[in-house]
Amino acid sequence: MSRVITNKTVEGFAAFSRKVAAEGCVLLKNEDNILPLTTKDNVALFGRVQVDSYRSGTGSGGSVNVLYKTNILGGLQAKEITLNQEVQYAYEEWIKENPFDNGGGGWAAEPWHQKEMPLADELVEAASRVSNKAVIVIGRTAGEDQDNAAAEGSYLLTGEERAMIAQVIKYFKHVAVLFNVSNIIDTSWVEEEDYKDALKGLMYVWQGGMETGNAIADILVGDVTPSGKLTDTIAYSIEDYPSTANYGNEFRNDYEEDIYVGYRYFETFAPEKVQYPFGYGLSYTSFETQVLGGKRVADTIEVAIKVKNTGAQYSGREVVQIYVEAPQGELGKPAKELVGFTKTKDLAPGEEVVETIEVPVSKLASYDDSGVTGHPYSYVLEAGSYHIYAGTSVRQVERVQIDGEDTYEVEEIQVVETLQQALAPRVDLRRMKPGRQKEDGTYELTYEQAPQQVVCLKERVERQLPQTIKQTGDLGYKLQDVKKDKVSLDTFIGQLTNEELATIVRGEGMGSPLVTEGTASAFGGVTEGLSNYGIPVACTADGPSGIRMEGGGYATQLPIGTSLAATWDTTIVEELYELEGQELLLNEVDVLLGPGMNIRRSPLNGRNFEYYSEDPLITGCIAAAVVRGIAKSGTHGTLKHFACNNQEKYRSFVDAVASERCLREIYLKGFEIAVKEGNARSIMTAYNPINSYWSASNYDLTTTILRKEWGFKGIVMTDWWAKMNHIIDGGEAVSQNTAHMVKAQNDLYMVVTNFGAGVNTNNDNTMEMLASGELTVAELQQCARNICEFLMETPAFIREKKEIKGIKEVVVKTYHLTEQEKEALTLLRVAPSYDGARYMCVEEDGVYELTATLQVPHNSLTQVACNLVMNDKILTNIQTQGTDGKTVEHKLGEVALKKGIYKVHLERVKPQLHIQELVFELKK
């Protein structure tokens, strides 16, 4: 079958992503210099994942259609390394019989791990006689709608894997284990008697996108020296993480640990629970760091540190990290907080460099959400001694002298910024607070009640209602006239009728025929009416690690978020995303639905692979680099999921009950950095509620904090098929409540069905609430304004305008049908199948409107897709959500047909989509 698949990938992009993937590898153990592998070594490679290497996690952030894949075995074969042929052969043969299990290819169906090959003792014993080193690869995945679990095969090793490691260790003296995983997993077993001595090497190689195999091989043979550092704390047990107790709840998840997330908790209360500290990672070479001192320069503290490569053989890079230990004061503080970092250039053996890191003093401040310091709702520097540390992990640090003094002293409390109460909890919530300092320097764990919402949200909303722009009807102004300064944006918006305003806040998708095939949504000028004003149709596409085009278009798949962050290198990430921006432009995608940047509150969140860290500073800096890089092409990144998407289970129900302080200091901070330092212009809200207001109708989140405090200029969109509740009363949430979405200034509802925006297929309440006065025209105009202003800054605005309905044509062919096929021939309607062709006839030339009736047995956040093939060519990609088993109608667009017989069939992209019938109706 002939099919046109676009390959608009950017040259050199994959090669660059290989470099980044290698930079992100984190070496945790390297005794007897087991790594790098050298030409003298003979290496036996164990674990099936050497062949079935993981490129990414699963779900919307992992679905990139790639031109080629690489695996670890292939990567090493291309190097001058001798691999044990017998072991390799055994795996290859076994995998033929036991192929990769993708769980059927459905949404969230892929298992966390793959069955491992049982090792015959003879094989390992024989291998140990030929090979001097063994490398074992362990793989894991998880993703959207599928959290990790504190169970074997996910967070814990399986019995098979343990047996494999034990067996290899029994015969080999030099064994290294690699984790080709999306997220940290349990490593406590490394210290058990059975493994401790023989296991010489341990490295997180993560998932590096399509170049995974080559990147890992580069690291293993020392073409690249590891320089990645952990962006999470690895504790001995999953139970040690303070979020675990509340993880996975259905309706309410209390953020009891408050700001004490990750190392902030462990360093303050329980350092003994840490196996590998935050910021930790080894190199093939060694470094000496010498803190030269710190000084106060205007509003910053400058810390200078000398780093020297003291090794003799390998060049390498080191990450310098600056932490603060603020006085406990009234608020209570973590024992350490990251306030700055940098990465050296590649240092040759013997080479040294002095790095200077600037830390704005304001970054040392904490948020008072109760008024206990006398300054409610303010960032304050409480009086006392601030200890500044510099080093190469949260544990390997040295105290920095500031202007010759041991500490940075704040004599009297200083107010850095005064804000207003926003997003505070509305129910009782206890939260952690350090109590008495113990002799060993740690703190007693105590709890206090988090302050509750006292501000009158109703009054706030009413006070800030926008002014209505006079509605004039169509004056003939186009959006281009605004760009040319012929007319103001307000005058332009004034032309839109209420119906048009209600339409523009609806995005269409997935797989809209108005934009690039198989992408997530189209928004803007999605109807003829809106398009006539010169409003372009813009295209959004997933996701964080490369463009997702379910229609078959190829794209470059990048390393996962975990890997990017572990580089601690914002420059390299920005360069990588500059190339991503070019690829977006080439594929006519205006808005990428990434970076994903939620805080990794728990190692169990399935989407951790899309995210960066347990720490907001590194999260924000990496995300800022991503959006800056993308923006260089004129396209845009989207920060998601704003905010607190910290578990996939019950993701559209579970209320994140969290204090205002912890939201501001931890869960929103990364977004704030990406808005302020990355100039992000697009944000996706999360599915979940935060303190009882669903994120997509959370006034304080998207108006008070995002737009008013941070000065965000751009669009806010919902996550796909999200729910909204009442912006003041809270209560139940439904997907139809776009009125309250608009009131919160969440501009866009993603998504209604294709061609559904103008006719309100989602049956949303915008018009009804306008009529009742609950929603004002001004509020709706405000969102339309945000959207149009944004659209003027997208490539769509200058792209040649396509025919709005995107009429497609099918070339007529001659088919000679069998008697049976003739009998089954239908007129202008057909029940298509995945298993074989069906035939349909058309008796009149013309343009036909095509509608599908379809059904998906799964819930509404499930994503399914297939291609509709007519006369051997893909006519369209059909992508939609789960329908809970209900049959629904979907308009698929217009198609020009000539008299004749047509062959129709379906091609599976993501299973579970049942197309019951296709109906072609002649357009009058």
Give the active site residues.
719
Q: Strand locations in 753-897, DSSP E?
A: 808-809, 826-827, 829-830, 838-842, 846-855, 863-870, 873-881, 887-897
Q: How far is the CB of 623 from ligand BGC (least distance, A)?
A: 14
Sequence-distant contacts of 438-445: CB under 8 A, at least 24 apart: 441/335, 442/268, 442/269, 442/270, 442/271, 442/335, 443/268, 443/269, 443/335, 445/269
Q: How far is the CB of 543 from ligand BGC (least distance, A)?
A: 6
With 0-12 / 13-18 / 19 or more C-beta atoms within 10 angstroms meaning exposed / middle / buried, residue 575 is: middle
Can you tell me which of 119, 291, 514, 520 binds ligand BGC, judged by CB under 6 A?
Answer: 520
The reply on whether position 60 binds ligand BGC by CB under 6 A is yes
- Region at 269 (left for phi over 0; alpha for psi -120 to 50; beta for the rest): alpha
CA distance 327 to 444: 15
CA distance 246 to 850: 48
Which residue lies nearer to ligand BGC by CB, 43 or 593? 593
Q: Please count the other Cβ atoms lying within 10 Å of the Cβ belonging to residue 293.
A: 15
Query: At a CB cut-off of 8 Å and minimum separation 6, what does 884 contact?
Result: 856, 857, 858, 859, 860
Sign of CA dihedral 839, 840, 842, 843: positive
Residues 208-237 that bind ligand BGC (CB under 6 A): none
Can you tell me which of 640, 669, 740, 910 binds ligand BGC, judged by CB under 6 A?
Answer: 640
Q: How far is the CB of 63 from ligand BGC (least distance, A)?
A: 8
The reply on whether position 368 binds ligand BGC by CB under 6 A is no
The reply on whether position 719 binds ligand BGC by CB under 6 A is yes
Which residue lies nearer to ligand BGC by CB, 377 or 642? 642
Which residue lies nearer to ligand BGC by CB, 400 or 643? 643
Helix (H) or strand (E) holding 655: strand 655-657
Which residue lies nearer to ligand BGC by CB, 108 or 850? 108
The reply on whether position 597 binds ligand BGC by CB under 6 A is no
Site string for ligand BGC, 16-55 (x = CB under 6 A): ----------------------------------------
- CA torsion angle 670 672 677 681 (round to 10): 110
Residue type, 178: L
What is the CA 67 to chain-centroid distance, rounded? 22
CA distance 443 to 151: 31
Q: How far apart are the first and last CA of the chain?
A: 33
With 0-12 / 13-18 / 19 or more C-beta atoms within 10 angstroms meaning exposed / middle / buried, residue 706 is: buried
SS3 for 513-540, per residue? CCCCCCCCEEEECCCHHHHHCCCCEEEE
With 0-12 / 13-18 / 19 or more C-beta atoms within 10 angstroms meaning exposed / middle / buried, residue 452 is: middle
Q: How far is the CB of 684 from ligand BGC (least distance, A)?
A: 6
Q: How far is the CB of 443 from ligand BGC (least distance, A)?
A: 37
Can you tell me which of 542, 588, 655, 764 binds ligand BGC, judged by CB under 6 A?
Answer: 542
Can you tell me which of 487, 505, 593, 783 binds ligand BGC, judged by CB under 6 A?
Answer: 593
Q: How far is the CB of 632 from ligand BGC (least distance, A)?
A: 22
Residue type, 807: I
With 0-12 / 13-18 / 19 or more C-beta atoms within 10 angstroms meaning exposed / middle / buried, residue 180 is: buried
Q: How far is the CB of 879 from ligand BGC (least distance, A)?
A: 9
Task: Report how many residues bind ligand BGC under the rule CB under 6 A.
Answer: 10
Q: Please count the other Cβ atoms lying within 10 Å of the Cβ belonging to residue 649.
A: 18
Which residue lies nearer to ligand BGC by CB, 258 or 542? 542
Which residue lies nearer to ligand BGC by CB, 683 or 796? 683
The reply on whether position 905 binds ligand BGC by CB under 6 A is no
Structure tokens at 10: 């950017």
CA angle at residue 163 from 159 to 165, to 5 degrees?
120
Q: How far is the CB of 29 from ligand BGC (least distance, A)?
A: 35
The reply on whether position 254 binds ligand BGC by CB under 6 A is no
Q: How far is the CB of 862 from ligand BGC (least distance, A)?
A: 9
What is the CA 465 to chain-centroid distance, rounded? 33
Q: How far is the CB of 564 from ligand BGC (least distance, A)?
A: 17
Residue type, 458: K
With 0-12 / 13-18 / 19 or more C-beta atoms within 10 angstroms meaning exposed / middle / buried, residue 776 is: middle
Q: Using the structure block, give the residue that is written with the tokens 């169906």.
A: 109
The reply on whether position 258 binds ligand BGC by CB under 6 A is no
CA angle at residue 564 from 27 to 203, to 5 degrees?
15
Angle between helices 212-220 and 13-23 (to 10 degrees): 50
Which residue lies nearer to ligand BGC by CB, 267 or 610? 610
Q: How far is the CB of 719 from ligand BGC (least distance, A)?
A: 5
Which residue lies nearer to ligand BGC by CB, 461 or 750? 750
The reply on whether position 720 binds ligand BGC by CB under 6 A is yes
Structure tokens at 537: 């149709």
CA distance 608 to 112: 14
Angle between helices 121-130 and 85-97 (to 10 degrees): 150
Q: How far is the CB of 540 from ligand BGC (least distance, A)?
A: 8
Question: Buried (b) or exposed (e) across 810-833, using 16+ Cβ within 10 A?
Answer: beeeeeeeeeeeeeeeeebebebe
Site string for ligand BGC, 842-881 (x = CB under 6 A): -------------------x--------------------
SS3 for 19-65, per residue? HHHHHCCEEEEEHHHCCCCCCCCEEEEECHHHCCCCCCCECCCCCCC
CA-closest candidate to residue 635, choices 678, 564, 578: 578
What is the CA 815 to chain-centroid distance, rounded? 47
Residues 132-191 that bind ligand BGC (CB under 6 A): 144
Q: How far is the CB of 276 from ligand BGC (least distance, A)?
A: 29
The reply on whether position 543 binds ligand BGC by CB under 6 A is yes
SS3 for 281-318, per residue? CECCCCEEEEEEEEEEECCEEEEEEEEEECCCCCCECC
Residues near ligand BGC, by CB under 6 A: 60, 144, 520, 542-543, 593, 640, 719-720, 861
